[in-house]
Chains A and B, each alone.
Chain A
Amino acid sequence: GENVEQHPSTLSVQEGDSAVIKCTYSDSASNYFPWYKQELGKGPQLIIDIRSNVGEKKDQRIAVTLNKTAKHFSLHITETQPEDSAVYFCAAYTGGFKTIFGAGTRLFVKA
C-alpha cells in the first residue's frame, strides 16, 4: 500500500546549525506534501507545504524541496534555535480523505 518513509527518527544538532529531514513516498499520484511540527503537549501544526508542480519553497528559516522523479522531499531548517525542538512529520496527500504520514523525526536543538 501507500507509505511514506521518514529519516532520521531522531536528530540532534547544535544551536545555529542546520537540520535536514528526508522523506520518500510511494504513490506517484501524490500531489501535495505538507510538513507538520508537533511541540510537547500540542497537536501537529502545519508549518510549510509544497505542491507537486514546484521544486522548492522557502519561508524564512525553513525550506522544502521536492524531487518528483525520485519521489523524495526534504525539510531544511537553517540557523536552528531551541524553539525548533519538536517532532516533525512529513506527509503525502493524493486527494480525497487520505493523508499518509511519515513516522516522525524528533529534533533536539542543543543550546
Chain B
Amino acid sequence: DVKVTQSSRYLVKRTGEKVFLECVQDMDHENMFWYRQDPGLGLRLIYFSYDVKMKEKGDIPEGYSVSREKKERFSLILESASTNQTSMYLCASGQLTNEKLFFGSGTQLSVL
C-alpha cells in the first residue's frame, strides 16, 4: 500500500521557535508538495519540489522554507513560528503528471 508519512500528528510550539515538519513517501514519486488546510479556505499550496534539491514557491510561501535532500523526504521549515501559522499541514506526493496526489495524514500545528 502506498504511503506518505508525516512525522507528527500534533505539534505545539511557541512564537518565534523554528519548526520542522517532516514528510516521507515510499512511492518513488518525483514530486512532493506542502499544503496548508484552513476551514473555509480549502488546501493552499505552500511549496513544491520536482527533484532532489529543487523547489518552487506555491501560493503562500511567506514565512516558510523547504528542504529536499533525498527523493523520498520533503521538509517544511517555519523559520520563526507565528500564531497565524497555526493550521493543519498536509504533505503530498505525485507522479510525473501530478494529476493524482497522495496525501499524508497531516500535522496539526498550534503556535502559542
Contacts and interface: CB of A to CB of B under 8 A. Distances in A.
A103 interface: yes
Nearest to A43: B103
A contact patch SS: strand
B4 interface: yes
B40 A45 contact: no
B42 A102 contact: yes
A46 interface: yes
B interface: dominant SS: strand
Interface residues of B, number: 25
B20 interface: no
A83 B102 CA distance: 21
A56 to B, nearest CB: 19
Interface string B6-47: 000100000000000000000000010100000111111100
Given A43-B90, A44-B90, A99 B40 contact: no
A97 B56 contact: yes
A101 B98 contact: no
A6 B42 contact: yes
Contacts of B45: 98-99
B42 A93 contact: no
A40 to B, nearest CB: 11
B31 A49 contact: no
Interface string A71-91: 000000000000000000100
